[in-house]
A and B are shown apart, each in its own frame.
Chain A
């Protein structure tokens, strides 16, 4: 079988030597590297625009996926200076990874623009909303600041349930229901005394130093616990523990599962009888794209015995709730809310009962609209079992 570029080599062999095509020939032969990822992305007419929630709802070229890379390129080339105004478009990214599913280079815009976001922190670009968050993380180990009173749970066992900042601050009821579910599944579950943030909010905002500091602390605590397995309700935390910690040499000694992955393992026990009632579901982007679980949530829910209403945008076409990735909701709450409305409109058209598997998604849906009932997946199965 001929090589992919043989046709071009054939055509070029007849071209006059006077032309300056040596670089191209060297590139074809793999002797010189091609352009950087940011430049490649900037040269694309936005072939992932339709999948980007920011782009669909905000509608701006500047915050479109390739548009952000073009701004990144302008910053690199000093056409634009690093300041709040110019860095702002780069921060309009939900880190949902939806772009990656449609990119011929498998780029995630969030990843390829990390160097520019890191550089902006180094150059002292100062978003006050980020400063507050960084301080809360540094002082209290939680994205929301000092954690309030919490219910007591076992502090030793086999399955370590990491509750995450969001549920600890805003929805401790779900923690309770999740612990009840573990009990029903005969697990010896426990929580981590002195649990802190996994660090991913700092990572998303470009503050890699703070992320590393938090990762070091949490990795040490988890590795010193009695855990044989870690389960978390937050897909971003799972992503941090599974993917980012090893990258930063803070790998965990135990297996980490997101709640959906855990329930997938327990599917046999969850095979419930058919009953009345319907639910629709919202697959968190970090679960689908970050952890690569394209169909897991749907598979688990198919065992719930409920009539499952499938959204148009599901699986790898899932659409962020608007509150992913830390930065958008802090710098542009109005945009987060509009994206949330767009998604909720789709889900509400299918059922008034929505199941999700991410604390931020749950919070966003139930905060913005009171006429739907939003369940965390563990909470739902606890109720059904």
Chain B
């Protein structure tokens, strides 16, 4: 197998520790019988990647640069503890795996070792009176939301990856969904957590409405991307299903008009669950069927909840928004198409290199950041388009979700082109005062900007990692840890 350029794995390293890994696999196969461990080639190749877009190109070229030594499917806490115990003893890397829909290589088994797929741990329990749901980390996201909806509740976490992703993946990557402006991110929903940390200890932090027992260790594991332990369960805040849903859409003459409108709306305390503002290119891309919106800046919005509150919020929106109201149809269109990602399947095999880059910035820097990032991406030789929509909002600022796509120019391969685009975009974000990641996380693709973003905080994070995971077995290399 050809090794990838971005990953540090190499054959010699792998050979040296082969006997150690084999011993651990032997021990684990004694414990995890009944098909809970595999070293079969098809399984190893299947777990060599997540949905990191550059990996799609490698797969098409038959390149699998990060093949694990084994894959395990634990079915209980005891299974997980055994896995961590044996891997700790043998100093064998562990990579927790959920739905594999992460886009930054966070689940890529870069240094070989054992991939731990949690999808067989999927029990759930509803606590109606406390408005909580208790879910094991391998539970499918759609399964959970559908289960809650049938019983009159929602968790409100609807990422585009709802169908393939898992609850543990949401916590591990600090995910958030399309309805986040009202319901928040996973960090707002998580009330309790259960984690197995090296050398195999179980930590259970029970759910409370609030607790002041020192630094919040629950939050410590949110976004830890498998580098500190294996998340096995979470307790999450849920809501009664909304009584009323109001769908609004607007066409504005400029991005600035729409963005400023939302700033004023948020400042007045209204929190529409969904707000999405598309720049001109993305308006053309997503709303080509609407002649009166094409070429403008489209905004779609969903306000939901208690009827009195929803009506009041829609009144604020109508008072503040600068743009022409376009009714419910564009919102319905968005609802129908919001999970479609077919373009990746069509264009990547044609040689198109693409990615999405989500970042956040305060209101005062919003316009500048948008212009700087699009302005940095467009001139790169080979870029076909660079565009953005604003997808998540706070009283303090905004998340921009950039998309770029292109074909590598002559003398440049897919990786070279891809990394150049990332370099330019990240530089522009940092220079514009933004944060390099809003909700996709860090993984392996963003690790080289961690130090610049966190500065001394990154050194502290590394020290904490060394204490929690002395032998460096938990997802080594992710976030540069």
Contact = CB atoms under 8 A, between A and B. Distances in A.
Q: Do A and B bind each other?
A: yes
Interface of A: 1-4, 6-8, 10-12, 15-16, 18-21, 23-24, 27, 34-35, 39-51, 56, 59-62, 67, 70-71, 73-74, 77, 79-80, 85-86, 88-89, 102, 104-105, 312, 334
B17 to A, nearest CB: 24
B257 to A, nearest CB: 21
B409 A19 contact: yes
A77 B62 contact: yes
B213 interface: no
Contacts of B339: 47
B99 A49 contact: yes
Interface residues of B, number: 66
Given A6-B284, A16-B381, A105-B342, 18 more contacts: A4-B288, A11-B385, A19-B381, A35-B345, A45-B51, A45-B100, A46-B163, A47-B163, A47-B341, A48-B163, A49-B164, A50-B146, A51-B163, A59-B122, A62-B47, A85-B42, A104-B340, A312-B146
A50 B82 CA distance: 29
29 contacts: A6-B288, A7-B281, A12-B384, A15-B384, A16-B381, A20-B409, A21-B382, A21-B384, A21-B407, A24-B352, A27-B346, A27-B350, A34-B346, A39-B345, A44-B341, A44-B345, A45-B164, A50-B162, A51-B163, A56-B140, A59-B117, A60-B46, A60-B73, A61-B43, A61-B97, A74-B42, A80-B42, A85-B40, A104-B342
A62 B68 CA distance: 14
Contacts of B64: 79
Contact of A62 (B43, B146, B383): B43
Contact of A18 (B119, B143, B381): B381
A3 B147 contact: no
Given A2-B284, A44-B345, A49-B164, A80 B41 contact: yes
A77 B45 CA distance: 13
B164 A50 contact: yes
Contact of B344 (A16, A44, A80, A86): A44
A302 B34 CA distance: 43
A86 B406 CA distance: 35
A11 B101 contact: no
B416 interface: no
Interface in B87-114: 97, 99-101
Contact of B408 (A8, A20, A44): A20
A61 B46 contact: yes
A86 B41 contact: yes
Interface in B402-435: 406-410
Contacts of A61: 43, 46-47, 97, 100, 117
B59 interface: yes
Nearest to B40: A85
B142 interface: yes
Given A7-B281, A8-B285, A60-B117, A23 B350 contact: yes
Nearest to A335: B35
Interface string B115-128: 00101101000000
A311 to B, nearest CB: 10
Contacts of B47: 61-62
B143 A50 contact: yes
Contact of A40 (B41, B97, B281, B346): B346
Contacts of A105: 342, 345
Given A1-B289, A18-B409, A56-B140, A7 B41 contact: no
B346 A20 contact: no
Contacts of B99: 45-46, 49
B147 A312 contact: yes
Interface in B128-171: 138, 140-143, 146-147, 150, 161-164
A46 B161 CA distance: 9
B48 to A, nearest CB: 10
